[in-house]
Amino acid sequence: MVTQTITLDPSSSATGVAVAPNGSRVYVTNQVANTVSGTVSVIDTTLNLPAVTATITDLAQPFGVGVTPDGKHVYVALEGIPNVAPGPGVSVIDAATNTVVNTINTPGCSDLPCSGPVAFGLFIQPSPPPQFAGTPGSTNCNGASVSALSNEFGNNLGAAATALGFKSVKALQTAIGTFCAG
């Protein structure tokens, strides 16, 4: 069921879409027909009637778009045209100000045919460090953490390491040490 249609620039074609992790904004890449240019439309979904509240201009054929997990940056893949600035690459947009803060050109793309990068959806970032049972900084942190794991995995730290995604017991012990050092 369609509840609302939001009109974008009629001279362009929407080529990519990404949603901020908290759902408050939608980013749509638009390519303008028969040109090298394009835009990103920013739709505010928190309004009673969601609407385009910002348009980021002067992008070289934006295609894919992705938002970092913290929602602070939007990465836009630019198909661009080789040897025509800014060319194929990736533009980084500050989501708080809706401004391009950096454009990274694709190396080795100096002649046609050439395809710039493509990106859609969320970007992956490292997992947070593991948490263990001990209290970081306390003298018994390591012992409390190992003891809790031993109890949970039947005195088998190898099974604990495997279940928690560590390559070895030594890697698990190193992680516990790092956690306890606080």
Where in the chain do CATH 2.130.10.10 domains reside? 12-122
- From the list 32, 68, 94, 87, the residue with the least C-alpha distance to 77 is 87
Do 167 and 158 form a contact (C-beta atoms < 8 A)? Answer: no
Do 55 and 28 form a contact (C-beta atoms < 8 A)? Answer: no
Q: Show pLDDT as tens, one digit a residue, over the chain (182 residues).
A: 777 888 887 778 888 899 999 999 999 999 887 777 889 999 999 998 899 999 998 888 888 899 988 899 999 988 766 555 556 778 899 999 999 999 887 765 555 445 555 555 555 555 566 778 888 888 999 999 999 898 888 889 998 888 888 889 999 999 999 989 87
- Token representation of residue 32: 């303008």
Q: Residue 86's pLDDT is what?
A: 57
What does 71-115 look like in DSSP terms, one character per residue? SSEEEEEE--BTTBTT-SEEEEEETTTTEEEEEEEPTT--SSS--
Q: What secondary structure letter does DSSP report for 175?
A: H
Do 101 and 109 form a contact (C-beta atoms < 8 A)? Answer: no
Q: Residue 5's pLDDT is what?
A: 85
Q: Residue 150's pLDDT is what?
A: 87
d(C-alpha 115, C-alpha 105), whole Å: 12
Q: Residue 113's pLDDT is what?
A: 47
d(C-alpha 87, C-alpha 21), whole Å: 29
Q: Residue 115's pLDDT is what?
A: 54
The model's pTM: 0.62
- Give the CATH H-level superfamily of domain 12-122: YVTN repeat-like/Quinoprotein amine dehydrogenase (2.130.10.10)
d(C-alpha 46, C-alpha 169), whole Å: 48
Do 39 and 30 form a contact (C-beta atoms < 8 A)? Answer: yes
Residue with the two structure tokens 């970032």: 125
Q: Residue 83's pLDDT is what?
A: 53
Task: Decide: residue 131, CB within 10 A, 0-12 exposed, 13-18 middle, 19+ buried.
Answer: exposed
Q: Residue 79's pLDDT is what?
A: 79
Q: Residue 35's pLDDT is what?
A: 74
